[in-house]
């Protein structure tokens, strides 16, 4: 017989930031265990429940007993199991007893090869687990594998027994249809009762009639929306409705929405407001304090500017909501007043006047102070401007169109970029570093380009974040990230496994994104070379390790963008110094791979590479026309002479797709060469000439990418 199954663990308030993962893990592990034991079908529907005071799961079509299963069990080698005359040894009888069998099964045992010897095997029918047995195992697994952020220890009612769990547990439900399944967990025995909302429930204790009535009974009798996703959707709906009524938009923040969903069981969105005077404070400060400290949803106008209105997600729905809204407005007022005070106080001191204070702030024990770091960032930024001014490809700077003006702005922005770390506002809200520096720079009347650069120099802060908006910010952001990477790699602080305390992977991806998406005419190795001298004797040379790190990050990023491993491998095998070229090279490789000639040329290229690798000593480079004896090698030499200049011209114009497509004309002569010509001729002169011809072919074919990687 099968029926739907419900399991609920009723606990004290769970940590809100962990609730979503706890609910998903509890449901997934328990259901997977039931499926593995044959108690639930592989396609059984699994519904997760997670509210501030409960974790639950509903699984469809769970059997009362799993089907018996035929299994073959290896016992031991024949030489150990049987005597010379075929009688069972004591070792075999002991082994049989351990698996629940006696001497009577000996005639049923099978002799089968097992490696170089023979072993005895026993075919038997293993009884399926009962639901009580299987659910107990599944429940134990689900609790053991919960991603608990921090375990707490509490005593059971007997006053003696200790239990370690995320929060004290007070109830356990296990219903198969309408029947209770006898299981235990955390000192609790399963039943059918749970608790509803602390204040809104129509009855304090809710008796669940059957597995399928759980969600409805909790909603109707307990005033609880048990499903995390359902509760989240209801909050989002109410937020939109309340905002639409004011023709405003709530701040879009999935993490905040998840956290609020984990704080309430019966959401009720209310509209509040604060005094107009607080809008004089930068809106980032007000939004952050409302979200981080109060879990409120600020409301923005159509232009994205903060308004005085905000939304509160309450866990109660009183007839008169005035007390709730008034209380929240009183609570937020001191927070906003603090922000205004910090902002007003910070503006009394210039950023430049804070510079000496940076020398007293430790950046890293082996790399000195924030003041020393600011000096290094400034030096690296200057070197980047120098490289831009001497780049082969033209790079147009600001309207002034003068690199000396850009250099002046970069120096000022890089010098002042870290000064806001010493302000009261950033001390209270570290997330605002850079942003507040931009506000204070504008207040002081610094050039807007400098203020924007100070604000943007941490960008991109995360995946999908915007890049710096101007040239000055771009240079300072590159310098800041390179200083971090070179310095920490130089003292051996490399990421390991999933541990990356200094966010070096994020910094590397930021450098990659800036170089690629802004298509800067800068070589990555040259940038690293320019950054290393600013550290003096503080570090050991990190160049090789850092270039490998960048290559790994770039490969992962490109694969995430949809390029195949082969395409990425072909392009990165050449270690292109200018990352801005990489997307064009990848598109060229993709276009080449679509040609009818591609497969044959890639295979030939791989063959050529293998031949050239085996050459001992220096590879011959001069092709002597008089030694081209075979028609096929003469035709190949003529084809290379015709195609290579065309391909090289297109390459130099950065038309990588055209350059690779030009190689298609080489297919026929290359195929004919390998069909008709013996490369390793007995005559040393002929052999050297043919190797030189293949060397020229290999060089012509592999300027954009290593085409052999496509074979």
pLDDT of 398: 59
Query: Is residue 215 situated within a structural domain?
Result: yes
Q: What is the rounded average pLDDT for all residues in the chain?
A: 92
Predicted confidence (pLDDT) at residue 395 exceeds the cutoff of 90: no
pLDDT of 296: 97
According to DSSP, residue 393 is labeled S
H/E stretch holding 114 reads strand 110-114
Q: Do both 597 and 689 map to the same domain?
A: yes
Helices (H), 417-560: 424-428, 435-443, 448-456, 471-490, 504-517, 524-531, 543-560
Q: Do both 685 and 597 map to the same domain?
A: yes
Q: Do both 52 and 193 map to the same domain?
A: yes
d(CA 469, CA 197): 49
Higher pLDDT pick, 471 / 392 = 471
Of 67, 74, 63, nearest in space to 127 by CA: 67
d(CA 78, CA 15): 57
Q: Do both 404 and 546 map to the same domain?
A: yes
pLDDT of 488: 96
According to DSSP, residue 281 is labeled S
Q: Do both 238 and 110 map to the same domain?
A: no
Q: How many CB atoms lie within 10 A of CB 247?
A: 9
- 389 dihedral zone (left: phi>0; alpha: psi -120 to 50; beta): alpha
Strand partners, 55: 9, 50
d(CA 131, CA 134): 5
d(CA 35, CA 216): 26
d(CA 341, CA 335): 10
d(CA 441, CA 531): 26
pLDDT band at 390; cut points 50, 70, 90: confident
pLDDT of 123: 82
Predicted confidence (pLDDT) at residue 708 exceeds the cutoff of 70: yes
Which domain, by its residues, includes 678? 583-710
d(CA 679, CA 691): 7
d(CA 47, CA 125): 33
What are the DSSP E strand ranges found in 12-68? 46-51, 54-63
pLDDT of 612: 84
pLDDT of 315: 95
Q: Do both 485 and 439 map to the same domain?
A: yes
pLDDT of 397: 67
Q: Do both 168 and 36 map to the same domain?
A: yes
**Residues in Cβ contact with 679 at an 8 Å cutoff, skipping those fewer than 6 apart:** 611, 687, 690, 691, 694
Q: What angle do CA 508, 513, 517 make, to 5 degrees?
A: 160
pLDDT of 148: 93
d(CA 172, CA 167): 14
pLDDT in tens, 174-188: 999 999 999 999 999
Q: Do both 542 and 406 map to the same domain?
A: yes
Q: Which of 562, 592, 626 is the last residue of a domain?
A: 562
Average pLDDT of span 180-207: 94
What are the DSSP E strand ranges found in 548-676? none
User: Which is it for the CA torsion 520, 525, 529, 534, positive or negative?
Assistant: positive
Predicted confidence (pLDDT) at residue 503 exceeds the cutoff of 90: yes
H/E stretch holding 322 reads helix 322-346
pLDDT band at 144; cut points 50, 70, 90: very high
Q: Do both 190 and 239 map to the same domain?
A: no
Query: Is residue 572 situated within a structural domain?
Result: no
Average pLDDT of span 364-372: 95
CATH code, domain with 413: 1.10.3210
End-to-end CA separation in angstroms for the chain: 56
d(CA 496, CA 493): 9
Residues 70 and 175: beta-carbon distance below 8 Å: no
pLDDT band at 66; cut points 50, 70, 90: confident
Q: Of 166-170, 287-291, 600-604, where does mean pLDDT reach its minimum? A: 600-604
Q: Of 186-200, 349-363, 635-649, where does mean pLDDT reach its minimum? A: 635-649
Query: Is residue 380 situated within a structural domain?
Result: yes
pLDDT of 189: 95
Q: Do both 374 and 487 map to the same domain?
A: yes
Predicted confidence (pLDDT) at residue 400 exceeds the cutoff of 70: no
What are the DSSP E strand ranges found in 587-706? none
pLDDT of 387: 93
Q: Do both 509 and 557 map to the same domain?
A: yes
d(CA 527, CA 539): 17
Q: Which residue has tokens 């001390």?
A: 427
pLDDT of 541: 93
Q: Of 212-226, 330-344, 373-387, 649-663, where does mean pLDDT reach its minimum? A: 649-663
pTM (two decimals): 0.81
H/E stretch holding 118 reads strand 117-126
Query: Is residue 320 situated within a structural domain?
Result: yes
pLDDT band at 204; cut points 50, 70, 90: confident
Q: Do both 336 and 433 map to the same domain?
A: no
Return the biggest CA–CA distance within the chain: 103
d(CA 596, CA 592): 9
Of 332, 341, 244, 334, nearest in space to 295 by CA: 332
Q: What percent of the chain has pLDDT over 70?
A: 99
pLDDT band at 88; cut points 50, 70, 90: confident
pLDDT of 692: 85
Q: How many domains does the chain have?
A: 5
Average pLDDT of span 503-532: 95
Q: What are phi and psi of 203, to 5 degrees?
A: -145, 140
pLDDT in tens, 564-602: 999 999 999 999 999 999 999 999 999 988 888 888 888
pLDDT band at 338; cut points 50, 70, 90: very high
**Cis ω on the peptide bond leading into residue 251 (within 30° of 0)?**
no
pLDDT in tens, 595-638: 888 888 888 889 888 888 887 878 777 888 888 888 888 888 88
Predicted confidence (pLDDT) at residue 502 exceeds the cutoff of 80: yes
pLDDT of 553: 94
Strand partners, 113: 118
Residues 589 and 668: beta-carbon distance below 8 Å: no
Query: Is residue 177 situated within a structural domain?
Result: yes
């Amino acid at each position: 017989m099968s029926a739907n199954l419900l399991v609920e663990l009723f606990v004290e308030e769970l940590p809100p930031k962990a609730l979503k993962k706890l609910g998903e893990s509890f449901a997934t592990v328990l259901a997977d265990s039931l499926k593995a034991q044959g108690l639930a079908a592989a396609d059984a529907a699994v519904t997760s429940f997670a509210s501030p005071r409960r974790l639950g799961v509903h699984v469809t079509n769970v059997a009362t007993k799993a089907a018996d299963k035929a299994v073959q069990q290896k016992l031991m080698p024949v030489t150990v199991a049987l005597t010379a005359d075929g009688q069972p040894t004591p070792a075999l009888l002991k082994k049989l007893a351990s698996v629940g069998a006696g001497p009577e099964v000996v005639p049923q045992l099978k002799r089968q090869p097992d490696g170089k010897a023979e072993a005895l095997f026993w075919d038997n029918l293993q009884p399926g687990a009962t639901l009580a047995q299987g659910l107990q195992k599944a429940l134990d697994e689900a609790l053991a594998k919960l991603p608990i952020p921090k375990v707490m220890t509490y005593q059971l009612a007997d006053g003696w027994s200790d239990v370690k769990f995320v929060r004290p547990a007070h109830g356990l439900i296990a219903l198969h249809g309408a029947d209770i399944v006898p299981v235990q967990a955390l000192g609790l025995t399963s039943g059918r009762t749970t608790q509803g909302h602390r204040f809104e429930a129509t009855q304090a204790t809710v008796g669940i009639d059957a597995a399928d009535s759980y969600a409805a009974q909790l909603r109707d009798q307990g005033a609880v929306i048990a499903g995390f996703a359902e509760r989240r959707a209801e909050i989002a709906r109410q937020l939109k409705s309340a905002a639409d009524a004011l023709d405003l938009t709530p701040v879009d923040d999935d993490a905040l929405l998840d956290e609020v969903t984990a704080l309430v069981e019966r959401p009720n969105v209310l509209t509040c407001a604060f005094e107009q005077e607080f809008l004089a404070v930068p809106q980032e400060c007000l939004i952050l304090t409302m979200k981080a400290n109060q879990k409120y949803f600020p409301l923005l106008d159509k232009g994205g500017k903060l308004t005085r209105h905000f939304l509160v997600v309450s866990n109660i729905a009183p007839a008169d909501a005035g007390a709730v809204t008034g209380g929240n407005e009183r609570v937020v007022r001191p927070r906003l007043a603090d922000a205004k005070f910090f902002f007003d106080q910070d503006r009394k001191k210039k950023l430049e006047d804070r510079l000496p204070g940076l020398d007293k702030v430790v950046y890293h024990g082996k790399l000195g102070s924030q003041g020393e770091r600011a000096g290094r960032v400034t030096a690296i930024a200057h070197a980047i401007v120098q490289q831009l001014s001497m780049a082969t490809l033209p790079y147009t700077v600001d309207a002034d169109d003068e690199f000396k003006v850009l250099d002046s702005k970069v120096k000022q922005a890089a010098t002042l970029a870290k000064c806001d770390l010493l302000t009261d506002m950033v001390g209270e809200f570290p997330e605002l570093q850079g942003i507040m520096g931009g506000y204070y720079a504008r207040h002081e009347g610094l050039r807007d380009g400098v203020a924007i650069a100070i604000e943007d120099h941490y960008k991109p802060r995360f995946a999908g974040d915007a890049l710096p908006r101007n040239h000055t910010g771009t240079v300072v952001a590159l310098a800041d990230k390179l200083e971090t990477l070179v310095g920490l790699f130089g003292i051996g602080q490399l990421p390991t496994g999933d541990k990356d305390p200094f966010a070096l992977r994020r910094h590397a991806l930021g450098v990659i994104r800036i170089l690629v998406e802004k298509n800067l005419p800068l070589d990555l190795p040259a940038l690293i070379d320019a950054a290393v001298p600013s550290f003096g004797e503080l570090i050991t040379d990190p160049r090789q390790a850092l270039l490998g790190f960048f290559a790994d990050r770039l490969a992962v990023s490109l694969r995430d963008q949809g390029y195949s491993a082969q395409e990425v491998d072909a392009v990165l095998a050449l270690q292109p110094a200018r990352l801005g070229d990489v997307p064009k090279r990848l598109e060229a490789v993709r276009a080449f791979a679509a040609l009818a000639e591609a497969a044959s040329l890639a295979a030939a290229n791989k063959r050529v590479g293998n031949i050239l690798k085996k050459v001992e000593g220096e590879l011959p480079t001069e092709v002597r026309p008089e030694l081209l004896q075979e028609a096929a090698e003469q035709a190949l030499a003529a084809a290379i002479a015709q195609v290579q200049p065309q391909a090289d011209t297109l390459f130099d114009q950065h038309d990588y797709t055209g350059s690779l497509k030009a190689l298609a004309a080489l297919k026929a002569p290359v195929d004919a060469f390998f069909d008709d010509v013996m490369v390793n001729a007995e005559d040393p002169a002929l052999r050297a000439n043919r190797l030189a011809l293949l060397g020229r072919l290999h060089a012509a074919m592999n300027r954009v990418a290593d085409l052999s990687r496509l074979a």
